Structure formats: structure tokens, C-alpha cells
Structure 1
Amino acid sequence: MKKIILLILMLIFGIALAQKVKKEEKVKDKFESRQPQDMSVPPPPMVAFPAQYPQGNKAFIDNVKKNLNADALKVLGKDLKTKIILKVNSEGNVINVSTYGGDETFNTEVKKAAEKATYNVKWEAGKNNRGEKVIDIVNLPFKY
């Protein structure tokens, strides 16, 4: 009888006090599970020296402000923000211009102005650690 009671108690304690062991999940695993990666696309190159506008990126932002259509932006208000993303190839030509921000009208106007500011302008291409020119992506915040 004692053995049966002891066996029952061991089963009860074994089930009641058993802990579920979680697999240790890394941050990398969580990120990759949310965003599937296309393995045929190589990772972007490591750029030690980012691409630059000929007179500097500050001059580029000033040129974008000059090219903005102020009449279209009057109705939007103040404190408008967006991010200008430029893809510059190894020859210094701007391949693509994108804008990301809260207001779609503002994004469109800034994109048009950025395209005007980069038209026929050779950028200083980005370079890797070995000094080779590489494709670079330039992110610039823009406020109006």
C-alpha cells in the first residue's frame, strides 16, 4: 500500500511540478521568422566611405529645398518630415530616389525636387575598405 501511495504521489508531483522547457530563441531568429529572405539576393556591400553630393550632402538638401513647389506645400502646414533615400551606383549616378514620410503629398513633392537636384549631377561614389567604388544607399532626413 505504501508503494502505491508513493507511486501516485511521485506521478502527481512529476506532472504538477514539471516545467515546460522553452527553446532559447535569438533575436536573429525572431527577425528572420517575420521577414522571409530571398537567398538569391546578395547582402548590400559594406561601405566604409559613403557616397557624397559634390558640394556635400548639406548642399544637396539645400538644393532640394530650392526646387520644392512651395505653393503645393502651403496647405500641408508646418513641421513636415520625410526621409530621402538615394541609390548611387559605382560611377556616381543616382539610380533611384525614394521618399518615406507621414504625408504622401509632401513625399511626392520632395521626390520631384530631389530628382531635379540630382539630374545630370555626378556624385562621389561610395567606397569600401579597399578603396573600390561600390553601389551605395544614402539616407538623408528632410524637414520643411
Structure 2
Amino acid sequence: MLLKWIAEVADEPLVLEPADRSVEWETNTWSLGATEEDRGALAAAEVVAAFERTAAAIRGRIRDLGFPAVATFYVWHDEQAGQLRCSTGSVSADALPFSGPYAASGDLGPIVEGFLADNEPGLLAWPDPDDLESPPFRVWVSSVGASN
């Protein structure tokens, strides 16, 4: 099911509205979970390839719309929710709408591997009280706009 859901993202509504990033976020952001069976049966390479196909399809849609500016498709592992999330925004990779620190990457493999290896999705270890500062989380980025 996960691969099917990733493919469906390419056909979902898409809004590029640089003046209203909240509308972009609400319309273009998707949460994708996986059953225990999917987690055990899928190879990271299959999931990566599915996201790459989705990014290519979104790139084509944006080109067909004639959108002339920067746009980025991005994927991250939301460990708190136990999900992969993806979104498209009229922003560059260094200006994604996250409130905390993130590290943009061109390598989706480690993000997907972490998601697939998560045996207890949504369950996080209690942080060490001496180390309350969270490290940046990884975000895979793919340029899908005309001027990236």
C-alpha cells in the first residue's frame, strides 16, 4: 500500500502560492504510514524509487502549469507520528517551513531506511535530560520548480 500511496501523491491537488505558505502546507503535505507487513516486505530502494517518480511527475505538473519560480518536493520521517511525510512548496531547500533545525539532503535512502526499521512507529525514547537539544532531522529535497 505504501508504494501506491506515494504514487497517488503525484495526482493530488497541488497549490503553489508564494504569498500564502500556509495554504501550500495544508494542501500539499501528505502523511504516509506503513503496515508492519509493508515495513518488512519493502526494500528502501523501492520506496526511494517511488518518491523519485512522484517528484518527477510533480515537476512535470509544475512545468505544465507554467509556474516560473522555485519549488521543492521534500520528504522526511516524522518519528513522533511514525510516518513518512512529503510536501511541495514554492521555497528553496534552505527555506523549508519547519520550526526546528533540519538538514537538507539529496540522499533519501537513510530517511526511508530509518522509517522501515522503526519497529514501534510513533514511540520515541525519553531524551536524556542533559541533552535536550534535538539534532537536525534529515529532509530529502528534490528541485521541481522552473528556477531551482
Q: Same fold (TM over 0.5)?
A: no
- TM-score, structure 2 normalization: 0.27
Please, what TM-score do these two structures have when normalized by structure 1? 0.28
